[in-house]
Structure 1
């Protein structure tokens, strides 16, 4: 079968745009990514950024199947949410949420809709595609899926449906505190201390109400005890993820668990859950996104 470029898969997250050149049979041919200096503010800016990254690929295909923030109210074109509970099996993903959101002479953009929840109010865009991809590779799986990232999602999945979900801003809080707060002076940009992470996580799971005080202790440790910046980074991560795990306990306690994410963001969650005696099934975020987008493209190809 020919592996010529036939369509482009796109995942536009909060901080990064990823593109994959795809063959008609779903084979991944190449990939590109970028991290724009700021979020695009107009539809024209979205298109400019995407065209710049896709480059010569658009000389061979104008079909783009996408998920993520480009379908949000502030995105390229708004695509309505689907309220939960709703099906996220590959078949359901290809039936309802893909729409020809924007068609131009040389570009046909199709965006997968996100999910919404009325009580408590919550939304997701992009993660629903990863969940659909995970179910495509794990037929009949039920349980809770954690999707770490800038805004981490915990989704309860049963019988091919997302029943409920909750979002935690842990990743964004970590970035703000480590890069823009007073803690930035003592927190390294890289490095790790596994013991410091484990201790901080355990402390916060046990006493989450002490989080604010524990955070400022990192500042005190830097000024008075020459706290190693890499250790401070690990403690900060442990404190924040510990608070998240404490709040998300109804999701993971006694549940069948899966974790979708890159190793960088998923590993601390896996370690934190393992410390609570929770075994997780790991899956790569890019692989799950592509599996979901392949299902969406199949609907377009068969239409």
Structure 2
């Protein structure tokens, strides 16, 4: 396509997003699918990427920059990790070229926290941090990145100091699908029950040790007193997110501002949860901007 400078790809475990970008970082076209790492490992990463590029009729020499699970050990080409404390600029310096390809394809590395008492890794989120904070971020920031595996990150002066991962989304999915609580939320409507959600966030935040009991109360309360499937879903969701906030906000003043990197329903829920705790929020959706910074640095555009 005329004006296209490069393709940017966010390759998750279960999802694939590709954008054709111009030199200014604007989006010309995009593709989204469920061809994440798990599917691409079977079909072939090169084949999945090429089929999506072909669908957009791009030039055979168009460069591609990729973040996410394509760089994992089980992915296309392992891109490794940068250890904390990790400068965000180092993510760009350590991009790995995919060998044996006609076009220039680069995969960004992740970040590792090699602390025996708190080992942790991120892959893909480092690019969101780049997009949200920029290359020359001078201020301190606490960043919350909701998802299947939510991240809470301490960034100071453009350096990732520490971070922690919470399996909030994955646990919610397991509870909703594979436990007795699946009956309580069957047929839930799309609309968010704000009051049920806020009450659940508060209960879990204030008494995290009761988490297993709070979850069972969803079922017993519905059986004894009634209640909608949507209220049950939001109570489960609020309980899980409240637990995450209890850890993520530990030791922070209630007035501290959190940079929230999220979109869609997750942004709605986490914004509501943080506001329930009196936390100021700066909400952004940053992955495309981070990939644009990477492309600009790698190819000096």
TM-score by length of 1: 0.89
Q: Which 5+ residue runs of structure 2 have no aligned equivalent? A: none
Corresponding residue of 2:53:
54
1:257 offset after TM fit, Å? Answer: 1.7
Does 2:158 match 1:160?
A: yes
Structure 1 counterpart of 2:97: 100
Evaluate the alpha carbon distance shift between residue 102 and residue 265 of structure 1 in structure 2; reply closer, same or farther with a 3 A threshold.
farther
Deviates further, 22-31 or 108-117: 22-31
Separation in 1, partners of 2:37, 2:153: 29
Q: Deviations over 1:229-265 (max 9, x none)?
A: 0000110111001111112223654544210110311
1:297 has 2:298 as partner:
no
| Aligned CA distance change for structure 1 residues 58 and 132 (closer, same or farther; 3 Å) | same
Distance 1:242 1:131, change over 3 A: same
1:6 aligns with 2:2: no
Retained in 2: the 8 A contact 1:43–1:76? no
Aligned length: 295
SS in 1 for 2:190: coil
TM-score under structure 2 length normalisation:
0.90
Contact 1:22 1:29 in 2 (8 A): yes
1:122 pairs, out of 120, 123, 148, with: 120
State the secondary structure of the residue aligned to 2:210.
Answer: helix
2:174 is aligned to 176
Q: CA-atom RMSD, angstroms?
A: 2.3
Find the counterpart in structure 1 of residue 31 from structure 2.
32
Residues 12, 37 of structure 2: 8 Å contact kept = no
Query: Per-residue deviation at 1:3?
Result: 5.3
Shift of 1:97: 2.2
Looking at structure 2, the residues matched to 68 and 38 of structure 1 have their Cα atoms a distance apart, in angstroms, of: 9
Q: Structure 2 vs 1, CA of residues 72 and 194 (structure 1 numbering), >3 Å: closer, same or farther?
A: same
- Give SS of 1:131's match: helix
Question: Equivalents in 2 of 1:155, 1:5: separation in Å?
Answer: 33
Counterpart-to-counterpart distance in 2, 1:267 and 1:236: 16
- Is the 8 Å Cα contact of residues 144 and 252 (structure 1) preserved in structure 2? no
Give the stretch that moved more between structures: 162-171 or 33-42.
33-42
Distance 2:251 2:54 in 1: 42
Query: SS at 1:281's partner residue?
Result: strand
Q: In 2, distance between residues paired with 1:268 and 1:66? A: 28
Q: How much has 1:44 moved relative to structure 2?
A: 5.1
Q: How does 1:75-154 map to 2 (within 5 A)?
A: 75-88=75-88, 91-94=89-92, 96-105=93-102, 107-119=103-115, 120-136=118-134, 139-154=137-152
Structure 1 unaligned blocks of 5 or more: none
Q: 1:190 to 1:252 in 2, by over 3 A?
A: farther
Give, in angstroms, the shift of residue 294 of structure 1: 1.4
In 2: Cα distance, 1:172 partner to 1:261 partner: 16
| Cα shift at 1:101 | 2.7
Between 208-217 and 160-169, report the one with greater CA deviation: 208-217
In structure 1, the partner of 2:279 is 278
